[in-house]
Amino acid sequence: MKKIVGIIVAVASVLLIGYFLIVYYATFSNGYRSGELIKITHKGLIFKTWEGEISQGVSESQHFSFSVESSEKEVIQQLKDFQGMQVKLTYKERFATFPWLGDTKYFVTEVKATTKE
């Protein structure tokens, strides 16, 4: 009986660790978005995460919400500096997220200010 419980615990542990590794390291897609940076905020009650939003048009449906990992200090500072400006974001999309990483599956890895043409 102890052997069966041990095997079940071991299998459950491997599956849990595998799920964590896939969600954290595997990316579903990489891409770029551009628009006016309308929001960057540090929010949360238990887990403080960086969340932002760019406007890609006039309607509410053309907003792109994203998260930024807390370890991306340079990106966070650039987003603060570029508030209200046209920006180009480089992001990666994960399969899922954890509460301590951010609210969205889209994580910004690079930001550049652009000129509106």
Residue range 70-81, pLDDT digits in tens: 899 999 999 999
Q: Give the span between the Cα atoms of 14 and 4, in whole angstroms.
A: 15
3-state SS record for 6-36: HHHHHHHHHHHHHHHHHHHHCEEEEEEEEEE
pTM equals 0.80
What percent of the chain stands above pLDDT 70? 97
Residue 57: pLDDT band by 50, 70, 90 thresholds? confident
Residue 95: pLDDT band by 50, 70, 90 thresholds? confident
Q: Give the span between the Cα atoms of 6 and 108, in whole angstroms.
A: 41
Domains in the chain, CATH or no CATH each: 27-113 (2.40.50.140)
List pLDDT tens digits, range 11-56. 999 999 999 888 888 888 999 999 999 999 999 889 999 999 998 8
